[in-house]
Structure 1
């Protein structure tokens, strides 16, 4: 298909196929080390994958960071990325990571609605400000939560202080001409309706787009497109590709985490 190579990441990253098992191993070790501070599989809805994991700091949480996983809406789950909570936990923030029904069992519109449902459920577990981020397809979903067409409960919306789409897919229309669309089922109408770059954001939301400097040109273009459409900052992190750009979430003092949670 016309855009298959443009959106293929693992084939253009040295050792790309080694990252998913490495993530899963690190995530499993991270959860086991938290003991009772890892509250797993909290339900937010009736579907099989309508749950989230919550990781708590040692003291009263300063706020809640939410991370939405990627995988082109087709693969992975939050427990492949639990270790990315380390940086926020070290700064005293709680971290929630939601699961969602994967395509083709759910359309992207249905997945987006699941995340809408999950947000208030996650917010109910921890008081204070909310910082929302997501990677790749998760970056798309994080950005969608800021769209003017999304109605969150007023108290939850007021707490949503910062949003960081990391390497997001902001315009879904090119994905129609990829092989993965056999499972995504995008048509022109859905692609337009679910593209953050084509939807104005709600006023007053602080959005900061983050992308690796060594990513595929399509992802650099997607990041810039969202930044231009929303007039928000775009950071292109030098030397980072699509798989290691999220590693900044593991470090409490990384530039990425400072941008998401605020410098300390």
Structure 2
């Protein structure tokens, strides 16, 4: 099996190269149009920051969206427009950056995201909902596993929505990406949500696009089976547009995320 091809998304998406520029432009415009606190520090590193986008009235709670990019690419600044649905529904939205591989291992990124959630939770009262895309889906699944968040923060998390997540890291050891990810058997065992269980009391819904690459349909299925989680398959959606509905407060995806 050609593992690099199996986990290649853009090569199988028409117009894939245009998506990052669109995300960046829409994100910049949205940040300028709303009440956004930019580069809130949650740690000491230059990338240990998040943007906090506030609703018009007192927040119903905190929504944290964690970006993807195979732990190798992007930062918070591409994704601000995907806060639109949550904000319109009355939620504060935190969008964290984190160190990328090879500077950080995935186990370290897990801890950074936990630190970002914890810091943002100290700024916004109420329930916490997590969602993340691709590598971010992995990270929001890890965040609701025992021992990642402190009990006082974890007990506020009511829902985690991994979108097109990488739930079992072991196949990635066969890809050329692993030159930078540096995954080994021990880290895959320790960092694969599909090989563990979530904390009690948190609702998990796994979302995936029907037009995703087969390995991502598998990864979603593995997490659902391991956790007994609900699964939503979005018809016609591929790996890059599966998150578009987060910008629409009336979408089925926002209904799944916010109940």
> How much does 1:199 deviate?
1.0
The TM-score with structure 1 as length reference comes to: 0.96
> How much does 1:2 deviate?
3.4
Does 2:22 correspond to 1:22? yes
> How much does 1:192 deviate?
1.6
Q: Is the 8 A contact 1:40 1:52 kept in 2?
A: yes
Number of equivalences: 259
Q: Alignment partner of 1:4: what SS?
A: helix
**Equivalent in 66, 88, 95 of residue 86 of structure 2:** 88
Does 2:92 correspond to 1:125? no
> How much does 1:120 deviate?
1.0
Does 2:247 correspond to 1:250? yes
The aligned runs of 1:98-137 (5 Å cut-off) are 98-137=96-135
**Equivalent in 180, 183, 187 of residue 180 of structure 2:** 183
Structure 1: runs of 5+ lacking an equivalent: none
Q: Which runs of 4+ in 1 moved over 6 A?
A: none
Residue of structure 1 equivalent to 2:12: 12
**Equivalent in 197, 200, 205 of residue 202 of structure 2:** 205
Q: Deviations over 1:73-120 (max 9, x none)?
A: 000011101000000111111100011001110000111111111111
Q: Alignment partner of 1:208: what SS?
A: strand
Question: In 2, distance between residues paired with 1:71 and 1:249?
Answer: 18
Question: In 1, distance between residues paired with 2:109 and 2:153?
Answer: 20
Q: Deviations over 1:228-264 (max 9, x none)?
A: 00001011111100000001100001111111111xx
Q: Is the 8 A contact 2:71 2:135 kept in 1?
A: yes
Q: Alignment partner of 2:32: what SS?
A: helix
Structure 2: runs of 5+ lacking an equivalent: none
> How much does 1:182 deviate?
0.6
> How much does 1:188 deviate?
1.3
Q: Alignment partner of 1:170: what SS?
A: coil
The TM-score with structure 2 as length reference comes to: 0.98
